[in-house]
């Protein structure tokens, strides 16, 4: 068997390149395409770019076998084509769990512990200590987390350590670590009427697109806090904006949006009681190293027997 050709789309360090080469792999960069190596000779893509990726997949006599996506969400990759061509897909699920879950706890504590009130009192030079401004604690609220994968589990684990009660929502209601309870998304309406804090970390699939819309929010109990750190299009923008503006949702923290970046005239910037972050809660320092801790063991295993140690994406479910 001739050695495999790997195309690096997402940057890696020279040291990392050398480690891969020592495993008998030919490593190419984008500039090498059609110069050092032709598109139909690429076996492995490290990273994903829609234009380059589709060019390689659709090349005559394409040899592409495996794409490693460096994000957890892989909704920009055409699963149906991969499935048809028998191209395997791995992702970086898990790598963002620590940083995203810490942002989620930051958002929750911000509103639960009244840092929003403190900030407006500071601006008004106003020392207020009456009963109405007594901060709550985590255990005063119920938490409903849509998505029980790595990220959802880390959020549940941290909420538990803070005394919070969590219910996880997934496709079948199967149990998941750290959650007090899980339910199937089909039976979620009974949960919505009890939840104070709703957190979305679901992947974007055909069935989650615009899952959260105005009617969904209105069918819940008054929502103390809605957090979206999953995927923007899982939430219908207009319905979300309406629900925040009319008080159906009292507070919100939003990291992802249907259209990114937000334009300067976006209505999201001026929503009341809302934290906006620029799709950066999942940003990971030392990202390249952490990525390699997923990719290299998978590469080693794949060269042996064509399987993966972890993080293979099911092309039907999309995660």
The rounded Cα 264 to chain-centroid distance in angstroms is 24
In the bound state with a second copy, the residue whose beta carbon lies nearer, of 86 and 261, is 261
Contacts of 61 (CB under 8 A, 6+ apart): 40
Q: How far apart are CA 291 and CA 175, in angstroms?
A: 28
In the bound state with a second copy, the residue whose beta carbon lies nearer, of 111 and 212, is 111
The rounded Cα 94 to chain-centroid distance in angstroms is 9
- Give least dist CB 156 to a second copy, A: 12
In the bound state with a second copy, the residue whose beta carbon lies nearer, of 32 and 180, is 180
In the bound state with a second copy, the residue whose beta carbon lies nearer, of 24 and 267, is 267
- Give least dist CB 200 to a second copy, A: 18
- Give least dist CB 273 to a second copy, A: 12
Interface with a second copy (CB under 8 A): 98-99, 102-103, 105-107, 109-110, 112-115, 118-119, 121-122, 125-129, 133-138, 140, 157-158, 161-163, 260-262, 264-266, 269, 274-281, 283, 285
In the bound state with a second copy, the residue whose beta carbon lies nearer, of 16 and 274, is 274
- Give least dist CB 34 to a second copy, A: 31
- Give least dist CB 198 to a second copy, A: 19
φ, ψ at 313 (rounded to 5°): -90, 135
Instruction: Report in angstroms the alpha-carbon separations of 30 from 6, 12, 69, 289.
Output: 11, 12, 16, 21
């Amino acid at each position: 068997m001739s050695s495999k050709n790997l195309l690096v789309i997402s940057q890696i360090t020279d040291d990392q390149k050398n480690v891969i080469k020592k495993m008998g792999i030919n490593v190419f960069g984008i500039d090498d395409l059609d110069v050092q190596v032709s598109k139909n000779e690429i076996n492995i893509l490290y990273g994903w770019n829609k234009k380059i990726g589709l060019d390689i997949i659709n090349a005559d006599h394409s040899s592409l076998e495996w794409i490693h996506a460096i994000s957890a969400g892989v909704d920009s990759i055409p699963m149906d084509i991969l499935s048809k061509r028998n191209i395997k897909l791995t992702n970086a699920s898990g790598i963002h769990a620590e940083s995203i879950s810490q942002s989620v706890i930051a958002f929750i504590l911000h509103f639960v512990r009244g840092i929003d009130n403190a900030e407006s009192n500071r601006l008004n030079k106003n020392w207020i200590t009456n009963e109405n401004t007594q901060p709550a604690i985590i255990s005063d609220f119920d938490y409903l987390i849509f998505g029980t994968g790595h990220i959802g589990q880390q959020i549940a684990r941290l909420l538990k350590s803070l005394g919070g009660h969590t219910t996880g929502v997934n496709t079948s209601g199967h149990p998941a670590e750290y959650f007090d309870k899980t339910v199937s998304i089909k039976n979620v309406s009974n949960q919505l009427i009890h939840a104070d804090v709703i957190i979305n970390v679901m992947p974007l699939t055909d069935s989650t697109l615009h899952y959260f819309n105005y009617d969904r929010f209105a069918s819940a109990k008054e929502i103390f806090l809605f957090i979206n750190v999953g995927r923007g299009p899982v939430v219908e923008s207009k319905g979300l904006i309406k629900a925040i503006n009319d008080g159906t949702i009292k507070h919100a923290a939003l990291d992802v949006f249907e259209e990114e970046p937000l334009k300067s005239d976006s209505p999201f910037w001026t929503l009341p009681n809302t934290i906006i972050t620029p799709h950066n809660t999942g940003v990971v320092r030392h990202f390249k190293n952490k990525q390699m801790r997923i990719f290299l063991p998978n590469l080693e295993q794949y060269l042996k027997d064509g399987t993966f140690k972890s993080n293979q994406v099911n092309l039907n479910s999309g995660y």
